[in-house]
C-alpha cells in the first residue's frame, strides 16, 4: 500500500490556511480582555473590541494597522501549497517543506512582533490624548500612565494560531517523509 505523504502535507497546509479564520489572539490589560482577532482580522487590521473596549469609538481602533508579517505568513503558506500542485513528488515535497518551515518562522515572528506593536500603538494613543484642562492630570502623569498601561498589555495566542503552527509542522514532517522515501524501482518490461 502506497501512502502519498505529499497529499497529507497539502491537507495540513489547507488546515493551516483555514486556521487563519479562527481566533488567533486575545489582547488584555491587567487581566481584562480588550481585543480579539482572527488571523484574517490581523491581516486586515480589523480586530474586534471586547470587554472594556467594546464601546470604544471607531476612531480609537483606526490606528491599528494590518499586520504585514501575518499577511506574509498567509502568502508563504498559500504559495507553497499552490506550487506543490504543479510539481512532481520530490519537487512538491521540497516546496511544501520550505514553505512549511518558512511559514512557521514567519508566523512565530509575527506573533512576537505583534505584542510589541500593540504596546507601542496603545502607548502612542494614550500620548496623543489632550492634556487635562482642569489640571488634575499633568502631561507627565499621562505619559507615565500610558507607559504603565503599555507594560501591562498581554497578547495571548489562541487556538487558530496554534493550529496554524501545528498544521505547518505536520506538513513539514510529511514533506520530509516524502523526501526520505526512496523511489520505487520499476520492473523491466516483460
The tens digit of pLDDT for each residue in 29-54 reads 778 888 888 999 988 888 888 876 67
pLDDT over 80 (residue 107): yes
pTM of the model: 0.76
Q: Select the more confidently predicted residue: 9 or 122.
A: 9
pLDDT at 185: 46
In a domain? residue 190: no
Q: Is residue 188 part of a domain?
A: no
The answer as to whether 161 is a domain residue is yes
The 10 Å CB-count burial string (b at 16+, else e) for 88-109 is eeeebbbbbbebbbbbbebbbe
Lowest-confidence pick of 51-60, 69-78, 150-159: 51-60
> Residue 52 domain-assigned?
yes
Q: How far apart are CA 86 and CA 73, in angstroms?
A: 21
| Calpha distance 47→41 (Å, rounded) | 5
Q: Is the pLDDT of residue 65 over 90?
A: no
Q: Please state, for a pLDDT cut of 70, what percent of the chain lies above it.
A: 77
Is residue 14 within 8 Å of residue 105, measured between CB atoms?
no
Whether residue 133 lies inside any domain: the answer is: no
- Which set of grid coordinates corresponds to residue 9? 502535507
Which residues, 6 or more positions from 160, have their beta carbon under 8 angstroms from its beta carbon? 19, 20, 21, 22, 23, 24, 38, 39
184 or 173: which leads in pLDDT: 173
Average pLDDT in the chain: 80
Report the pLDDT value the prediction gives residue 122, as an integer from 0 to 100. Answer: 63
| Residue 91: partners with Cβ closer than 8 Å, 6 or more residues away | none
Domain with 12 in it? 5-127+138-180
73: CATH:
1.20.140
Q: What is the mean pLDDT of residues 85-105?
A: 87
Whether residue 88 has pLDDT greater than 50: yes
The domain total for the chain is 1
Q: Is there a domain that residue 132 lies in?
A: no
SS3 content of the chain, % helix, strand, coil (to 5): 65, 10, 25
Amino acid at each position: 500500500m502506497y501512502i502519498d505523504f505529499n497529499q497529507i502535507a497539502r491537507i495540513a497546509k489547507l488546515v493551516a490556511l483555514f486556521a487563519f479564520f479562527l481566533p488567533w489572539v486575545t489582547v488584555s490589560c491587567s487581566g481584562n480582555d480588550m481585543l480579539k482577532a482572527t488571523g484574517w482580522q490581523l491581516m486586515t487590521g480589523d480586530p474586534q473590541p471586547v470587554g472594556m473596549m467594546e464601546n470604544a469609538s471607531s476612531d480609537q481602533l483606526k490606528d491599528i494597522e494590518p499586520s504585514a508579517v501575518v499577511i506574509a505568513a498567509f502568502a508563504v503558506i498559500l504559495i507553497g501549497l499552490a506550487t506543490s500542485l504543479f510539481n512532481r513528488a520530490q519537487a512538491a515535497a521540497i516546496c511544501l517543506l520550505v514553505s512549511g518551515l518558512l511559514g512557521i518562522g514567519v508566523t512565530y515572528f509575527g506573533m512576537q512582533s505583534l505584542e510589541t506593536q500593540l504596546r507601542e500603538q496603545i502607548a502612542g494613543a494614550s500620548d496623543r490624548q489632550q492634556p487635562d484642562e482642569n489640571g488634575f492630570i499633568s502631561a507627565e502623569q499621562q505619559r507615565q500612565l500610558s507607559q504603565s498601561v503599555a507594560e501591562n498589555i498581554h497578547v495571548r495566542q489562541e487556538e487558530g494560531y496554534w493550529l496554524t503552527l501545528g498544521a505547518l509542522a505536520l506538513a513539514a514532517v510529511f514533506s520530509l517523509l516524502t523526501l526520505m522515501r526512496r523511489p520505487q524501482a520499476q520492473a523491466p518490461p516483460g
